[in-house]
Structure 1
Amino acid sequence: MSARDASAPAGRASAPPRERIRRPGSPVVTGAARVRSGSRLSERWFGLALWLVAFTFAGFLIGLGSLVVGDLPQVEQRYRLEQFLDADRARATTDALRQIRREQDDVRRQGEQAQLALAAARSASEAARETFANWLKTRDATQRVDQDPGLIARTQQLDALKAGERAIEERLEVLARSELDLSERETAQASLDADLRAAAREKLDAAERGQELRVFGYRLALTLPLLVLAGWLLLTRRHTRNWPFVWGFALAAAFAFFVELVPYLPSYGGYVRYGVGVVATLVAGRAAINALQAYRERQAAVETRPDAERRTDIATDQALARLARQICPGCERPVALGDPTTNFCPHCGLGVFERCPACGQRKSTFERFCHACGTRRADAAA
């Protein structure tokens, strides 16, 4: 009898190993189900706190990156339409339009004054005509011959008023022709100015498109290296003690690239964005296909190795977590772990349960200590 058997209680030492009695239909409680993970409770809380640190660090980096990306257009000057106009021709056209509009204002004022004068002349003519009509009625009634010189004078007065009215009308006609000529000249000059500005607008649009491409290049030169660096850190440093900062930096770099950069991607009618989407989908899909093929080949190579060697390559926490989800820790395929007779994975042959050499209790092969008697696993002791 060994020292451990001698130190154990008599009842426990003499009792044969027994399986847990289960009623029909009741769930089987295995060691993996009882212990979901090998990590301590305090470590889980520390892990949550470190994830909070990672997200906080990412939030500050995202805010800083948003400011930097938003201020990048300030490295370029803001273009104005006047920078692309033909200065001499634009100045001549502007001066001509200004002169034409001044002349139009003068003609318009003269026309308004002539309209007032015409209204006054017509009013005077109408009053003189009414007076003359009344005088004629009086003369016809009296039949006095001495009133003939007055008739001639009044008639001449009416003719003079009518002539003055006609002169004002002719002046208005001249002003109307002048206004029409000025309007035609204004239309011609405005068309010339519009052509100049249209040509300048095309140059401005081309310059702004080039500026947008340059600013997009600045943003790409800033965010793409960050994304590449984040990918390298995730591949090489995510399991180090500083992993919260690695994940925080990776989240910030991904946000800066996919959120801060993508909206500034030139469109050109949608061709660029859809083309980039097609290329990105092809690259990502090809990488996923290659990764899946490499995973299958790696798993196939792993499944040919000895059982004990395969178990040493799997972390205890990871193995217990997979067992709690009723999947094999090695090949990650579903396994009926609730069946007390299932000790090996039927897909890859990995041993997932064994009997404790001290008490004979069924336990997981990944547990370092037996949950029934506390005996250390032989390879764990080594």
Structure 2
Amino acid sequence: MRSSRRLSERWLTLGLWLIAFLFAWFLIGLGSLVVGDLPQVEHRQTLEQFLDGPTDEAAAESLKRIRREQDDNRRRTEQEQLALDAARSASEAARETFANWLRTRDATQRVDQDPDLIARTQALDALKGAERTIEERLEALAKARLDLSEEEEPLTRAESERRRAAEVKLGAAEREQELRVFGYRLALTLPLLALAGWLLLKRRRSRNWPFVWGFAFAATFAFFVELVPYLPSYGGYVQYGVGVLVTLIAGRAAIGALQSYNERQKLAETRPTEERRGEIATDQALERLAKKSCPGCERPIALDDPSLNFCPHCGLGAFERCPACDHRKSTFERFCRACGTPSAPVAHPVAT
């Protein structure tokens, strides 16, 4: 015999447990959204907030000006380099033409070509002069580029130092913000865990027990699971510390309950059988008998022995004979299973 509860009652109990788990599941989803969105109560810190205002703006403008001039210098250098290449090509072509003309003149020995020689020489000199002019402009651009680099270096170094200092301040501010947000999460989940513990202690047997257990599951999950991704470096100490504290409290309560139970059992075993039987619920007694345990002291007894009517450990009467059909039956059964005769009512102790 598993239990005297009706089949429909057992199915309804399973349905209530399903409601408890569904309630816990929805609470866990809601709690996950709330815990995840808590950082939105804080403004996000940026590096620009920790730079030195006007000083940094002036330095940034100077660097922008220098880099604009460097870009302009680079473009002009590229243009002048192209012009120099073109001038050198023209000069090289003119020199080749002049060399060929000289060879021809030397072969013909024509004196009337001397004015042409002078003109060609002057043209070569002009090309070389143009080439040299471009080279001078390139040298001026290179000097200007060097001056800009020398001007940029201290500004860049100062900007790097300011950014490093700002990054240090930003890191400290982010850690402080992280601690505040963790405090918000802890302030939300820890009271829920405490409330869940109180509800389990005081209301777990009330008519609304599915919601009590569902809330307890959700609060425990929120504190020990949902909080994990957001723990700062020391957050694990808080979580495990609370776990140790809860375990100690629960363990102390369990030890105290076990000691109280043993003392009550020892005291109950000295009282009359009828009085003890009246204090045990029928369903509870039948469940213990189904597990081959004494309904009173919960020690194992040999139910298969037809001569066993009393618990050999505590002396509780567990079986008796039906007065109508002499069938052996449990003293906790309300009716004889062989003939249906009702059992004699058990006298319950009167509280004084």
TM-score, reference length from structure 2: 0.86
The residue identity in structure 2 corresponding to 1:299 is Y
* Structure 1 residues 377 and 82: CA distance shift in structure 2, 3 A: farther
- CA RMSD of the aligned region, Å? 2.7
The residue aligned with 2:37 is 71
* Structure 1 residues 332 and 158: CA distance shift in structure 2, 3 A: farther
The residue aligned with 1:61 is 27
The residue identity in structure 1 corresponding to 2:64 is R
* Structure 1 residues 132 and 186: CA distance shift in structure 2, 3 A: same
Q: Distance in 1 between matches of 2:286 and 2:294?
A: 10
1:242 aligns with 2:242: no
Task: Give 1:272 shift.
Answer: 4.0
Match of 1:114 among 41, 55, 80: 80
Aligned length: 343
1:299 aligns with 2:264: no
* Structure 1 residues 124 and 232: CA distance shift in structure 2, 3 A: same
* Structure 1 residues 286 and 92: CA distance shift in structure 2, 3 A: same
Q: Distance in 2 between matches of 1:336 and 1:62?
A: 47
The residue aligned with 1:223 is 189
The residue identity in structure 1 corresponding to 2:172 is A
Task: Give 1:58 shift.
Answer: 2.7
Return 218-227 or 59-68, whichever deviates more: 59-68
Identity of paired residues, percent? 63
Q: Distance in 2 between matches of 1:162 and 1:319?
A: 121
Q: Distance in 1 between matches of 2:65 and 2:294?
A: 91
Q: Is the Cα–Cα contact under 8 Å of residues 84 and 203 in structure 1 kept in the other structure? A: yes
Q: Distance in 2 between matches of 1:314 and 1:131?
A: 128
* Structure 1 residues 340 and 206: CA distance shift in structure 2, 3 A: farther
3-state SS of 2:319 partner: strand
* Structure 1 residues 87 and 314: CA distance shift in structure 2, 3 A: farther
Using CA pairs under 8 Å that are at least 6 residues apart, name the structure with larger relative contact order, 1 or 2: 1
The residue aligned with 1:3 is none
Unpaired runs of 5+ in structure 2? Answer: none
Q: Is the Cα–Cα contact under 8 Å of residues 352 and 366 in structure 1 kept in the other structure? A: no
Task: Give 1:249 shift.
Answer: 2.1
Match of 1:208 among 166, 174, 194: 174
The residue identity in structure 2 corresponding to 1:101 is R
Return 158-167 or 291-300, whichever deviates more: 291-300
The residue identity in structure 1 corresponding to 2:318 is F
CA deviations on 1:6-51 (whole Å, 9 max, x unpaired) are xxxxxxxxxxxxxxxxxxxxxxxxxxxxx31121222112222222
Q: Distance in 1 between matches of 2:238 and 2:184?
A: 18
Q: Distance in 2 between matches of 1:276 and 1:218?
A: 14
3-state SS of 2:267 partner: coil
Task: Give 1:86 shift.
Answer: 0.9
1:375 aligns with 2:337: no
Q: Is the Cα–Cα contact under 8 Å of residues 79 and 204 in structure 1 kept in the other structure? A: yes
Task: Give 1:207 shift.
Answer: 1.6
Q: Is the Cα–Cα contact under 8 Å of residues 227 and 250 in structure 1 kept in the other structure? A: yes
* Structure 1 residues 292 and 177: CA distance shift in structure 2, 3 A: same
Q: Distance in 1 between matches of 2:299 and 2:18?
A: 33
Task: Give 1:247 shift.
Answer: 1.9
3-state SS of 1:132 partner: helix
Q: Distance in 1 between matches of 2:278 and 2:221?
A: 38
Q: Is the Cα–Cα contact under 8 Å of residues 322 and 332 in structure 1 kept in the other structure? A: yes
Map 1:1-382; keep pairs closer than 5 Å.
35-266=1-232, 268=233, 272-273=235-236, 275-276=237-238, 278-280=240-242, 282-287=244-249, 289-307=251-269, 308=273, 309-346=275-312, 348-349=313-314, 351=316, 353-356=318-321, 358=323, 359-373=325-339, 374-379=341-346
* Structure 1 residues 119 and 286: CA distance shift in structure 2, 3 A: same
* Structure 1 residues 245 and 284: CA distance shift in structure 2, 3 A: closer
* Structure 1 residues 334 and 154: CA distance shift in structure 2, 3 A: farther
Task: Give 1:139 shift.
Answer: 1.4
TM-score, reference length from structure 1: 0.79
